[in-house]
Structure 1
């Protein structure tokens, strides 16, 4: 019984879903990852969820990292064409979770070289919120799932 408990505890402690959660005030950032960019692509998208467990909205105002360029973007369909739009802020309403995912909100990392951000690498990103302030989050670079969305920027 004790052996089973210890094994379950070890598995839970090493779970990526638990290990990559970051909290700041009422906000919880989870699942921060970047899919490896396509061959010869100079940009990659970062994804995560941001949950607000508090009673007041917060705004994600900026993202910063040691890369040539990084910004908050959203993919939108306009007149039948997918476009990436720069956003000045993203509201995280009280009690809500905002998902950054392919085809929607994302952190756009631009100006990459062919050997930048290999699978298994990490990128330290600072998320800047209106209320929670600066929050450091580590994005893990992952292999893009087969059949994943391919977009040009």
Structure 2
């Protein structure tokens, strides 16, 4: 009996609380750092032609990058989900399905705020992806300038 009295993972009387109090608790359980900078991961195939002849520019398009957002509250019950869905809509998050797993929430990568995480292998992939793109038929024998419009990056120290 003593073990049940000290178990803090279960509160069986929660559903008996007033709806306003339950909603306030759900609101307080939402993540507070929704607008903070975070890390995005490189995705191959992100180079796009920007500009026209003679100033042909191959730019890194951040539109294909997404940042995962943790919000377990969206998967608790219908009451918590309704609170979470309002926050999801407010912040423009999208719900992405994953095979055999819970869905995840994502938001677009913001190049002026977020940092692109680049491991040594990812750096190689960025360069290979760029070179591969310049050898596609629409760019063969054309002079192309390239630009990576990421203001912040993060790298691991690999030996």
Same-fold call, TM cutoff 0.5: no
Point out the structure with the larger helix share.
2
Return the index of the structure with the highest Cα Rg. Answer: 2
Point out the structure with the larger strand share.
1
